[in-house]
Structures are given as structure tokens and as C-alpha cells.
Structure 1
């Protein structure tokens, strides 16, 4: 079952959407303003965010921008009555993944939600876990405020781990993230993971990169 968050101040529309989505086995939490929606996003994990553009307290564009700046890569479907190209461009620049103009057909909403749920958004510019921060635009990594030097392969590995964090990433998925279908022998991945650990978990800092036997590798906030 998919789990989505709907941020919509029109309570009648919200109730209709929630009821329809439940018939499609999509569980839907609801917030009626931008601040409440942002709080729920920070507290829970959702497959997709359905975000109205015109919201009280904090508008949809601002919610979107704050989530992306904080490294949240949940796919966002913007719901809006605005159908002008400039409005859509502004939304995409803020970090939304898709647009649906009101009024819309319920079946189209479901199709788009399911499609978005199959991928994490590529709109984020910052990934983080605990005191580890990766700036995708600036191509920099910091741990506890200090710069972390990474090889190009180390960068790809860390990005894959951070995008999935705190979930475990299989070794096969990590190898695909770095080398695609043209994968080297398994020792290459071991060597690069060893070097990544040395770079991230350096100088006696608590270990963040953890190997889970029979599952893969995860990066978690140091306790």
C-alpha cells in the first residue's frame, strides 16, 4: 500500500481525494496548511506528497523549496488551479516533480501518484544524514563541519547511500549506481567502500557506514 501526504486547505476536496485514494489502496494523511504539512513531512516517510499551491500560513512553493533545501527527495505532485506556463516553471524551479491542474480526473491523479512513487525525486540539491552533508550543486561533502575528500567513485557510492538512508542498499544496487551494467569484479566495490569509510568515519568519529550481513550497506546517523 502506498502512503501519501495531501496538503490541501479545501476540506471538501481533501475529503473527496482521501476517500477515492483509499479505494485505490493508497493511504493518505492530510494537512490543511503549509506549516502543518511541512511538520508531517519532517516526522514521517511518504511515497508521494500531494501539495496544493495556494495554502495558508506557508504556500506550496515555499514548502517545496524548504523540503528540497533540507535534502528531502520525496516526489512532489503540485495541485493547482494555475495553468500558465510561468506558474509551472516556477513550480519546477522550486523542486516539484509534476503538475496537475484543477479540476482533474481522479483516475489521472492515481496514475500520476503511482508513477511518481516508483522513483525518488532528483530535484534535491542537498543530501544529509546526521552531521554528514552532501551539496550536490557545489559538489562538496562535509562531516562535522570539515571537508571530506572523495574520489568520483566514492561520491557516487555516498550519494546512493544518502538517497536511500536509513534503508539498506544491496551491494548489487551500489555497483549499478557506480558502474551501471558494466560492473567490475566484486573486490572493486569492497575497496571503494573501504576508502569511503576511511574518508567519512575518520579521526575517531562515530561510524556511520554500516554493513548489514546478507543485506548490504546503510548509512545512518551516528549515535
Structure 2
């Protein structure tokens, strides 16, 4: 498996590259944001490890640019700030998970494995009623109309639709959409479900997102 590491701290980069190679990964390194975007959009990577603070272009802008180029490779963002606001910014920019510095190498490997497992299971397209979801182009169409979603809204919709008919708990949704260290004490899920309902269900007679009181949510045709 091939990993792109975008990190400007030379000592940390050297340590991570050595550890990842010993774990069986091939590793390319970019030391600034612009080089990271160039490599990410021209190479074929299984996972991208992206530092938040970078020369030339910060991690959020790098992440957004990668997603604007229709690159769906899982992105793990590294940050030194452990705050809800920072986590939301990273996820909304298109990151799939985040890890706060300092971190253990074993946890980094666990995050990488979880992200790559999820990426391998992506089908070409999901069709539910008049809703079409294309995970490769990250486009959503309902009733012939294109629906514009933020990166995290898309991830949430894709996970719900991939489990059509299955009642999903908030814990399951949090871990699979926001990452294995998702804080179950937040209301992220309910907030994003409301975002999706306004975009996916509000103007359509057949509702797809349903609340299961005391449990979570289920995606199905009424």
C-alpha cells in the first residue's frame, strides 16, 4: 500500500516514514502544501497523512484542493489543537479523520488501517428511489436535480445509503463517518442529519432519512 505523508517537521517525517516502511507501506513525502497537492493529484495513494500547519499552503486548503480535484483518497489530518472547532474545520474541509499531536504510532497505524478498509469497500454507485450517489465523483442527484453537499455531508449520506434499511446507532455513525475517536457527547450527528434532510428530503414527497427514537437513524424509502 502507498501512503503520501505531507509534513514539514523533518524529524517527525523521518520517524514516521521509517515506521510506516517497517509496517509494509511505501511512502512518498511532501514538505509543503503546494508539493503535497501536486503529489496527491498526480499519484495513486491509498491514504494521505496531512499536517495542519504547513509552509506555502495550510492543511485545510490542501485538503480542499485535493477534494476539488475529485481525489477520494482517505485523508488523515494531524493537528496540535485538540478542540471541537478545529475538528469540525478539518472534517468539513474533506478530511476523513484527525489525530492530535503528540500521538502514538500504534494509533496512527490503526487509523490508517480503518480508513483504507472503508475506502476499499466503495462501490461505483448507489441508487435508492430517485436518489443516485456516485462516490467516485462524489456527486448526488435526486429527481434529476444535482444536490450540492459538503464533504462531511456526503460522507454521512453515503454511509447511511450504504446501509439502506439497517437501523444505525449514533455510535456506529460517529465511528464510521467521523472516525474511531468520535466524541459521542457532541450533537454533530443530529446537526448533520438536519443538514441532509433539508437538502435530500425537504422538497421531495418520499422521505429517505428516518429517526428511530432512542436508537439512531435508518435510510429507507417510506
Shorter-chain TM-score: what band?
A: 0.5 to 0.7
1:7-66: per-residue Cα shift (whole Å, max 9, x none)? 000011000000011111011110000100000011111010000000111110001111
Q: Which residue of 1 aligns with 2:158?
A: none
Q: Which residue of 1 aligns with 2:50?
A: 51
Q: Which residue of 1 aligns with 2:87?
A: 88
Q: Which runs of 5+ in 1 are unaligned?
A: 129-133, 141-148, 151-176, 181-223
User: 1:127–1:114: structure 2 CA closer, same or farther, 3 Å change rule?
Assistant: closer
Q: Which residue of 2 aligns with 1:145?
A: none
1:69-99: per-residue Cα shift (whole Å, max 9, x none)? 2221111100111111100011111111111
2:63 matches 1:64: yes
TM-score normalized by the length of structure 1 = 0.56
Deviation at 1:127, TM superposition (A): 5.0
Q: Which runs of 5+ in 2 are unaligned?
A: 123-132, 146-161, 166-222
User: 1:8–1:125: structure 2 CA closer, same or farther, 3 Å change rule?
Assistant: farther
2:19 matches 1:4: no
Q: Which residue of 1 aligns with 2:109?
A: 110
- Matches of 1:14 and 1:112, distance apart in 2: 17
SS state of the match for residue 118, structure 1? helix
1:104-159: per-residue Cα shift (whole Å, max 9, x none)? 1011111111111112399x99855xxxxx743xx28xxxxxxxx69xxxxxxxxx
User: 1:73–1:23: structure 2 CA closer, same or farther, 3 Å change rule?
Assistant: same
SS state of the match for residue 118, structure 2? coil
Asked if the contact 2:8/2:31 (under 8 Å) is kept, the reply is: yes
Q: How does 1:32-181 map onto structure 2 within 5 Å?
A: 32-120=31-119, 128=137, 135-136=139-140, 139=141
**What is the Cα-based RMSD across aligned positions, in Å?**
3.3
- Matches of 1:99 and 1:44, distance apart in 2: 22
